[in-house]
Amino acid sequence: MSLTRKIIMVCLLMAGLLTACNGSEVSSQKNSSATNSPQMVLVPSGEFTMGSDSGGDSEKPVHKVYLDAFYIDKYEVTNGNYAECVGAGKCTAPSEKKPFTRDSYYGNAEYNDYPVIYVDWTQAKTYCEWRGGRLPTEAEWEKAARGTDGRTYPWGNEFDGPKGNFCDKNCTFDWANKNYDDGYAYTAPFGSYPSGASSYGAMDMAGNVWEWVSSEYKPYPYKADDGREDLTSIRHIKVTRGGSWSVSGSSSVSAPFRVRNSKYHRSIILGFRCVRLP
C-alpha cells in the first residue's frame, strides 16, 4: 500500500475524531494557533490601579477600579482570524489590503499571523460579537496590560525596547530609536515577544498595533455606568491603547496611556483584541 493510501486509510479510520484530514489544513492550524479559535487568558476579578500621576492629564487621577473576571485574547486579532468572519459574511474587509509599507497584507497568506489593521471601531466590535465576545472596556484593557501592582508596562516599570514591536532601528521614521533591534520595521506576527507578556500572559499590549477598546473617551475617574460604555451612543470619540510599531516614545506605549480616536478612523497602526465573560 502506498504512503498516500495509508494516510487516507488512517484518515478514514479517524474520521469520527477529526474534522479534517487534509495535510495542509492541519499544518495551517499548527502554524497559526491564533486562527480558528484564538487563545484567551483569564484576568481574575478584583481591584486594580488605573491611571498614572506621572503621565498626561488624561491619565489622572490614579484610582482603584473593581472588575469582574474576564477572558481577553492572548494576542491581537490577526488577518487570519478576521478573514474567517469576513468569509462567514458577518464582517466587512479592512479598508486597505495593500498598506503603503507592503505590496500586500490582508488576504496574503504570508501575513495571516500578523495583526489586522485598517478596521474601524464598528468593524472591531462586530468581529468580537461574531466570536461571542465584545471589545474590552478601557478598564479591562488596562488591567490585562498592567495587572494589580500598578506597573507602567506589561513587564514592569522600565521601558525595554526589545520586549515589543516599537519604532526601533528597523523603523523608517525620523523618530526611530536606533539603540535596539526588535526585528520588525512594521507589524510583527502574533507571539513574537513572549518576554513582553503581561502578568496574565497577554502579549503585544505594548506595541505592534494600537488597540480599540469599547469605551467612549471621557475624563477620569473611570465609571462604567456614566455613559462611556453606551455602545449605541451617537458620540463617536473612542479610546485606543498600547502604542504601536510606529512609536518610539516610552510614555506612549505605557499601559495607562490614552489616545482618543473617531470610531470611524482606520489606520495602518490600529487593530484590536476581544474579551468574553467566563
Residues that bind Ca ion (CB under 5 A): 165, 168, 182, 184, 204, 208, 242, 245
Minimum distance, C-beta of residue 116 to Ca ion, in the bound complex (Å): 12
Give 55 or 242: the residue with its C-beta nearer to Ca ion.
242
Per-residue DSSP letters for 217-230?
Answer: P-PSSP-TTTTTT-
* Cα–Cα separations (whole angstroms), residue 38 to 33, 131, 195: 7, 10, 20
Distance CA 202, CA 154 (A): 8
Give 178 or 223: the residue with its C-beta nearer to Ca ion.
178
Give 63 or 187: the residue with its C-beta nearer to Ca ion.
187
Minimum distance, C-beta of residue 198 to Ca ion, in the bound complex (Å): 11
Minimum distance, C-beta of residue 231 to Ca ion, in the bound complex (Å): 22
Minimum distance, C-beta of residue 22 to Ca ion, in the bound complex (Å): 33
Give 211 or 229: the residue with its C-beta nearer to Ca ion.
211
Distance CA 210, CA 165 (A): 11
Give 48 or 272: the residue with its C-beta nearer to Ca ion.
272
Minimum distance, C-beta of residue 53 to Ca ion, in the bound complex (Å): 24
Distance CA 95, CA 105 (A): 12
Per-residue DSSP letters for 189-210?
Answer: -TTS-GGG--TT----SSSSSE
* Residue 166 DSSP class: -
Strands 258-262 and 46-50: unpaired
Minimum distance, C-beta of residue 19 to Ca ion, in the bound complex (Å): 32
The three three-digit cell numbers of residue 173, written as one number? 521614521
Nearest to 55 by CA among 152, 143, 175: 152
The three three-digit cell numbers of residue 247, written as one number? 512609536
In terms of phi and psi (left: phi > 0; alpha: psi -120 to 50; beta: otherwise), the region of 128 is alpha
Minimum distance, C-beta of residue 203 to Ca ion, in the bound complex (Å): 8
Give 106 or 245: the residue with its C-beta nearer to Ca ion.
245
Give 74 or 228: the residue with its C-beta nearer to Ca ion.
74
Distance CA 147, CA 131 (A): 25
